[in-house]
Amino acid sequence: MADHRNSGPQGRKPGNGRPTGGGKPSNGRPSSGKPTGGGGKPTSAGRGRPDSGSRPSGRSGSAPRRGDRPDRAGRPPTSGDRTDAQKVYDGPAIPDDVSAKDLDKFARQELQGLPDKLAEKVARHLVMAGVLLHEDPELAHKHALAARARAMRVGLVREATGETAYACGNWAEALAEFRAAKRMTGRHSYAPMMADAERALK
């Protein structure tokens, strides 16, 4: 299979930036890319607080035992304590040979406002989103969501999340991401996909 690391979401040389098949709706609904399951949106979760029932009996009002306390900031939670939001933030594994330099240089420039290590992680997730966009849209979307969780105020990241959501058939999510990206960047290159998503939601 050919390596397309410089293809994919906006700024990553995706051709015309649209999913395979064009995503054009027919009869008001897109002809391809419909989700088979339910979306790819991260779900909200609790904050990992200890259950009130974990307090020892007979010690009303006392603090939870040391082993019952939630992890403090700076200490990674155990696998059993991880929330859905944390899983989205972590994102799928990225192959070691994937580099931030695989991202288009103009796209990398949009990440310059981030700390170096953060920018590198976001860029690598965006590279994977581009590589997987047509091959595995759901996995591509997870990579885009991981980038979004780290840099949601970067227009490029919101564009990538919109494109992968669009490829998955998550029309409302795609439209929301494209609108956010448009406010941030002023770009109109994804206007056709926005129009498709709007028609699909009618």
- 170 in Cβ contact with 39 (< 8 Å): yes
Asked if residue 72 has pLDDT above 60, the reply is no
- Give the Cα separation of 109 and 130 in Å (integer): 17
Reported as a pLDDT band with limits 50, 70 and 90, residue 110 is very high
Domains annotated on the chain, with CATH: 83-200 (1.25.40)
Long-range (24+ apart) CB contacts under 8 A made by 37-41 are 39/168, 39/170, 39/173, 40/138, 40/141, 40/142, 40/145, 40/164, 40/165, 40/168, 40/170, 40/173, 41/170, 41/173
* Mean pLDDT in residue range 53-61: 44
Q: Which carries the bigger pLDDT value, residue 189 or residue 40? A: 189
